[in-house]
Amino acid sequence: MSELPLTPTERYFFHDHRESHPAWIRYDFTFRGALERAALARALDRIAQRHPLTGATVAPRRWGAPVWKLGAARPELAWRDGDAADDEDDARERHDLSARAGLRCRVQVRAAETHLTLTVHHAVADGLGVHVLAKDLFALYAIECGAAVTLPPIAPLSSGRDRKSPGAAAWWRQLPWVALGVVWGALLGRQRVVEMRGAGGDGRRRELAARCWSVDDTVRLRKATRTAGTSLNELVLRDIQVALGAWLQRHGPAAAEDWTRVLVPMNVGGARVGLQSSTNALGVVLIDRRVRSLGRRARLLHRAREDMEFIQRRGLMRAFGALMRLRGWLPGGIARYCRRSGARSTLVFSNIGKLLGSGALVRTDGVLALPGAELTDIAAWGPCRPGANIFAATGSYRGRQSFWVAYDPMAMSAAQAEDFANEWEAQLRLSLAGA
């Protein structure tokens, strides 16, 4: 058993995990057909060989940073046949990587469908990293079933895995702007940020049902994006800000001059092609807007385009990682940061992009086919954190755009979370009409 220090970002998610706000990412996969239990178990064991953090625990140290104990645990598999009660979760609330692995697979077999759920601790992988894990798991399953599938090369697990290429601009040109982003995030960003708070529920983490659009609506959405001369990410970001403003008017005590903050995770690890990696390659973009500006659809779209271009050109999405490295130099600095405040925002929005759209297992119609089963649907939810009570995400599979919302039931009721999801979808429908 070997040890490996956690990167500053991994330490942040390790320390930020708490029973009230578990730091887990969840992907649901729905298959038509049956999976072979023994083959899936063997594939899950092999995942830890390609992605060692999925079979590791974390050992805190009295002096110094915590370390990964590689090989100390195995990814877990829970299998249920029929309509047995699903009481497996939320062990997420109590599972903090101290004794169990950070990858868990749950399978529920119902009639002609098989539902497979991957839950991954955020210290092990980010949202795109879970996508890499899923692709490898399905490829390994096919291999265990006798299929001739070649796995892509995997990046070695090194202590510098969080230090990626700085991007288009030379690092010395980005450095002053990244330093400014660190100062803004650590000091100047302490202005009052409005929270999405309503009537709390039963205190357990919840995910709303996925909203999946038809192929025709997805095509119309992408056409509306091209007509507006923008990207899908910027269009959806505009609509989620408008939905946030409408929700705050109905449920929140926010004043017109109060600030909202949308936190947008961004991949800073490149396209993750060639040598793939599932470890965290996470950057963060902060989009700050006053409440009074959230109803101006045309202006918000223009601002979203300007902001994203400026942030990418200046490398500001690297400020979060730089801030964590800065705090990591101080003994216990990241743990104190998580206990005191953490990364505060009004909501979190993530565009995961195209899911499982390529590879040897994908047919010409875009469907991922395994021996005995084919993947019909995907849903993904991220973790809600203290001070960020909504996690909204979007992605596409088989040419269909889907939208997912997770919410903090300690901060709002299910009806209030549904109201936000309905408002978000209504704004997206307006975009379809060219509004």
**For position 361, which CATH number holds?**
3.30.559.10
Q: Which pLDDT tens digit goes with each residue over 310-331?
A: 888 877 788 887 878 888 777 7
DSSP codes, 363-426: -TTS-BEETTEEEEEEEEEPPPBTTB-EEEEEEEETTEEEEEEEE-TTTS-HHHHHHHHHHHHH
Question: Which residue matches tokens 């409005």?
Answer: 194
Task: State phi, psi for 286 to the nearest 5 degrees.
Answer: -105, 120
Angle subtended by helix axes 127-144 and 37-50, to nearest 10: 130
Higher pLDDT, 433 or 219: 219
C-alpha to C-alpha distance for 101 and 116, rounded to whole angstroms:
18
Ordered alpha helix ranges (H), 208-352: 215-227, 232-251, 297-314, 319-328, 333-340
pLDDT in tens, 126-184: 988 899 999 999 999 999 999 988 888 888 887 777 665 544 445 566 777 777 777 77
What range does the domain containing 334 cover?
2-161+168-432
pTM: 0.91
Paired residues of 107 in beta bridges: 79, 116
Q: How many structural domains does the chain have?
A: 1
Give the model's pLDDT for residue 168.
Answer: 44
pLDDT above 50 for 247: yes
